[in-house]
Amino acid sequence: MKARTMSFVRTWAGRLALGLVVLSVSATALHSRPSQAQATPTVQLPDFTDLAERVGPSVVNIRTTERRTSADRPGGLMDPNMEEFFRRFGVPIPSQPDRRGNPRNQEEEPQQRGVGSGFVLSADGFIMTNAHVVDGADEVIVTLTDKREFKARIVGADRRSDVAVVKIEATGLAPVKIGDVNRLKVGEWVMAIGSPFGLDNTVTAGIVSAKQRDTGDLLPLIQTDVAINPGNSGGPLLNLRGEVVGINSQIYSRSGGFMGISFAIPIDEAQRVAEQLRTSGRVIRGRIGVQIGAVTKEVAESIGLGQPRGALVVSVEKDGPADKAGLEAGDIIVKVDNKAVEKSGDLPRLVGGIKPGSKSTLQVFRRGATRDIGVTVAEFEADRPTRRAGGPEQGGPAPVAKAVLGMTVSDLTDAQKRELRIRGGVKVEAVEGAAARAGVREGDVILSMDNTEITDSKQFATVGAKAEKSRAVSVMVRRGEWTNYLVIRPTR
């Protein structure tokens, strides 16, 4: 009995020792294994407090006024909800007629025209804002964050880029730091400071939604989801390093308020404009004298261009730089000085950056082949009215009896060609079927078909007869002063 007891004790002692060893190994393994919290890094939202404190003193409020009589003010009373909004937030309510609808006086007096924002460029008082903030103002008043007010002088404003520079007589101001737009990435956090609805130094934040957004303006814009409202215009868009990367300029809205899409002018482009405004008061740009349109995928494929790219020349200004260089309506400009024109909006930006008087080389796609054309760039001036071509003279040649691709055409007289400044082409007398569906109209002039220049109705019929009935055929159409490509599909 005593021996069995000793054996039992030894057995349980061994098991206990083995258990302790296993427990020790498990504890060591557990201790050495990283926890789930340690393995997954914690993502923290950015803190904008320091950024707002540092940059806030560089942002200004801009009020503009214009002189007009009270009789010129818009009639009717302000919407009660909007009036309450102004009162609640301490914003001055614009002057209105009295409750009986009578104007308060007929004397000329300054009336508040609008509220915007701006930011300090230099310690001696140069301030950048939007051109539309100060456009048409008789007086510009700049308010600093320390509540000092100054009457500002408009140094220059450029409507095409929507950039303006104003100057106040002050020293020791805190200028902003200019950032590198090329380093800005989609998804990056950005912050805006401005005066929405006149509320000074309001801070909003969001991310960059897209870059190089083409909205039809001269400059490609930065798209963000930062809350921007009326009054934010002209304020800075800042990265997390406190550098200005853009000027808040536009919003996309169906209601007049913020809807999640706002646009800013890239600061590098704005700086170039501002430098010219400060030195000469105006911006000098190049021009070649063409009206352009977009190249669609359908047109690009039908004329052998491949991918839709370049700018389609729809009209050439008479005796302009492009006309003198030999550019023709229907040409597609694909490069400017070896810089690719990916879309039509790229052309005015590239040409606008060329110094007037300089010689430039355009790579042009014309009737299935590319060629280089040298052009001397002129200075951009105010838009000239387009001269409309007169209607063809009566008594021209009889129309061709046989219709081609749904078009019945006639030859042009020499006088008509001189009037339209073209070498050849045929006039559409009647249209039906596939051509009508493609958009060809009676009175249009067909300049080329299937990448072949059309000289007369006989050649038109020959080229049309060779065109395969099973594929799309491109035609270059002149309509008034405009030229465009249309794609005719014989079968649908």
Contact call for residues 226 and 262 (beta carbons, < 8 A): yes
Q: Is 90 exceeded by the pLDDT of residue 399?
A: no
CA distance linking residue 486 with residue 476, whole number of Å? 6
Tens digit of pLDDT for each residue in 430-460? 888 788 888 888 888 988 888 888 888 888 8
Q: 461 Cβ partners below 8 Å, 6+ apart?
A: 400, 402, 404
At 455, phi and psi to the nearest 5?
-100, -35
* Angular region, 472: left φ>0, alpha ψ -120 to 50, beta rest: beta
Least confident piece of the model among 280-284, 348-352, 401-405 = 401-405
Tens digit of pLDDT for each residue in 133-164? 998 888 999 999 999 999 999 999 998 889 99
Catalytic (active site) residue 344: no
CA distance linking residue 408 with residue 402, whole number of Å? 7
Catalytic (active site) residue 249: no
Contact call for residues 59 and 117 (beta carbons, < 8 A): yes
Per-residue confidence band for 257, with pLDDT thresholds at 50, 70 and 90: low
Instruction: Report how many helices (DSSP H) and strands (DSSP E) the chain contains, helices first.
Output: 12, 27
Q: Is 70 exceeded by the pLDDT of residue 413?
A: yes
Which residue in this structure is represented by tokens 């000289």?
455
- C-alpha torsion sign, points 199, 205, 210, 211: positive
Q: Is 50 exceeded by the pLDDT of residue 489?
A: yes
Catalytic (active site) residue 162: yes
- Residue that wins the pLDDT comparison between 437 and 375: 375
Per-residue confidence band for 41, with pLDDT thresholds at 50, 70 and 90: low
Q: What are the CB-based long-range contacts (under 8 Å, 24+) for 180-186? A: 180/243, 180/245, 180/268, 181/222, 181/245, 181/246, 181/266, 181/267, 181/268, 182/268, 184/208, 184/211, 184/222, 184/239, 184/245, 186/210, 186/211
CA distance linking residue 332 with residue 327, whole number of Å? 10
Q: 119 Cβ partners below 8 Å, 6+ apart?
A: 58, 59, 60, 127, 128, 129, 176, 234, 235, 236, 244
Contact call for residues 405 and 430 (beta carbons, < 8 A): no
Check residue 450 and give its pLDDT. 83
Check residue 479 and give its pLDDT. 84
Q: Is 90 exceeded by the pLDDT of residue 65?
A: no
Quick one: which of 287, 252, 292, 285 has its CA closest to 269?
A: 285
Q: What is the pTM of this model?
A: 0.63
At 197, phi and psi to the nearest 5?
55, 30
CA distance linking residue 270 with residue 219, whole number of Å? 9
DSSP code at position 96: -
- Across the range 297-312, mean pLDDT stands at 90
CA distance linking residue 366 with residue 316, whole number of Å? 15
- Choice among 158, 162, 331, 411 that is catalytic: 162
Check residue 432 and give its pLDDT. 81
47-56, 390-399, 467-476: range with highest mean pLDDT: 47-56
- Across the range 15-21, mean pLDDT stands at 45
Least confident piece of the model among 67-71, 243-247, 349-353, 358-362 = 67-71
- Across the range 366-370, mean pLDDT stands at 90
Judge whether 162 is annotated as a binding position. yes
- Report all structural domains of the chain as residue ranges with CATH numbers, in order of start: 177-280 (2.40.10.10), 286-379 (2.30.42.10), 407-488 (2.30.42.10)
Residue 460, CB-side half-sphere exposure with 13 Å CA sphere: 29
pLDDT, the chain, mean: 79
Judge whether 132 is annotated as a binding position. yes
Least confident piece of the model among 27-36, 213-222, 246-255, 423-432 = 27-36
Tens digit of pLDDT for each residue in 192-215? 999 888 888 899 999 999 998 876
- Choice among 58, 233, 302, 457 that is catalytic: 233
- Choice among 122, 132, 253, 323 that is catalytic: 132
Q: Is 50 exceeded by the pLDDT of residue 389?
A: no
CA dihedral 22, 23, 29, 32 (to 10 degrees): -150
Judge whether 280 is annotated as a binding position. no
Check residue 30 and give its pLDDT. 40
